Amino acid sequence: MMLPEHVSLLRELESTHNRVKRPVLDMTQIEDMERIICEAMEYNTPVQFAVFKPLPFLNGADTGEIIYIEGKIHYINQIRKVFHVMDSKGDTNLIKFEDVVGVVMK
């Protein structure tokens, strides 16, 4: 039997376990990601995006978690600054430029 206090502490521990501060990227990391994205667009190869998902209600706008989205880059919207990524299910994921913290060619 678990007391409500124990349950709330376990939930809080789980939610704080995955929290990270927004990573700051330097110019070489950004250039490497741009190169990978250009190659993936040119050869239509899948990539895996590491995306920072902000959780502003917890500890401010710079706190969140890193999620991974894998798929092919379908379109890059320069005006809205968004990647359109098609995953293996055929769904389109919209990823903001500012939220990308890593890109790996698959």
pLDDT at 34: 96
Burial of 40 (0-12, 13-18, 19+ CB in 10 A): buried
pLDDT at 11: 73
Give one word for 90, left, alpha or beta, with left for phi > 0 and alpha for psi -120 to 50.
left
CATH assignment, 4-105: 2.30.30.100
pLDDT at 59: 64
Count the neighbouring beta carbons within 10 Å of the beta carbon of residue 20: 13
Domain range annotation of the chain:
4-105
pLDDT at 14: 64
pLDDT at 67: 93
**Residue 2, both tokens:** 């678990």
Q: What is the C-alpha separation between 26 and 17, in angstroms, rounded?
A: 26
Taking the chain (106 residues) in consecutive chunks of 10 residues, what is each chunk's mean pLDDT?
76 69 93 96 96 77 88 96 95 96 95
pLDDT at 4: 82
